[in-house]
Amino acid sequence: MTATSSRLARLHDTELVAMAAAGGRREFGELVRRHAASVRGLLRRMGADPALADDVAQDAFIQAFERCADFRGEGTFSAWVRRIAARLYIKRRQKEARWTELSEAEEPVTLMPDGARSLDLDDALKGLSEIERMCVSLCHGAGLTQAEIADALKLPLGTVKSHVKRGLDKLRAQLAVAPTGQGRRAHV
């Protein structure tokens, strides 16, 4: 580890953001290293394939760098970038298809034929329809309110609420059978 990287590693996110807002690319690079996994992981949990997730995550970090001065530190930097990434991903998907069509078209994967398989969150999310997965991830992963999700996805609020509820019910059922500890692992 060089002297610069060890110096950067000691700085708090808010200090790094302030330096990045002044044009510090090294400092921003440290932020990327710290939070890339969180942003990339969220996008994959929202249903993006790895290549698209990385592409959107890069766009999100670039947008974050350009808007560093707008970051008020009211939440964490990680949460801020995750929200940017989530919105960028929604825009990408909206260019491809309407969510209303997706919600009915996608058949969820059956994960527990014998009801005994241990699951983690990433496995369990595969058991949700695409729109349920999206709504649950936006709500609990990106921290958007249900009203914000409805606005972003251009869906009625009631529809979003029922997608979130149904998605959580499915997750609860799938994760409930996982043995203690096994079902809490996070990997992609």
Spatial distance between the Cα atoms of 12 and 8, rounded to a whole number of angstroms: 9
Report the residue number, 65 or 89, with the smaller CB distance to another protein.
Answer: 65
Chain residues that interact with another protein, rule: CB under 8 A: 25, 28-29, 32-33, 36-38, 40-42, 44-45, 54, 57-58, 61-62, 65, 120-122, 136-137, 140-141, 168, 171-172, 175-176, 184, 186-188
In order of 71, 172, 173, the CA distances from 167 in angstroms are 31, 9, 10
Nearest CB to another protein, comparing residues 3 and 176: 176
Least spacing, CB of residue 121 vs another protein, in Å: 4
Minimum distance from residue 44 beta carbon to another protein (Å)? 8
Q: For residues 187 and 140, is the Cβ–Cβ distance under 8 A?
A: no
Shortest distance, position 71 Cβ to another protein, whole Å: 16
Query: 41 or 127, CB closer to another protein?
Result: 41
How many residues are recorded in the chain? 188
Residue with tokens 């000691």: 10
Burial of 116 (0-12, 13-18, 19+ CB in 10 A): exposed
Q: Which is nearer to another protein, 25 or 154 (CB)?
A: 25
We find the least distance from the C-beta atom of residue 148 to another protein, in angstroms, to be 16
Amino acid at the residue 164? V
Secondary structure class of 173 (helix, strand, coil)? helix
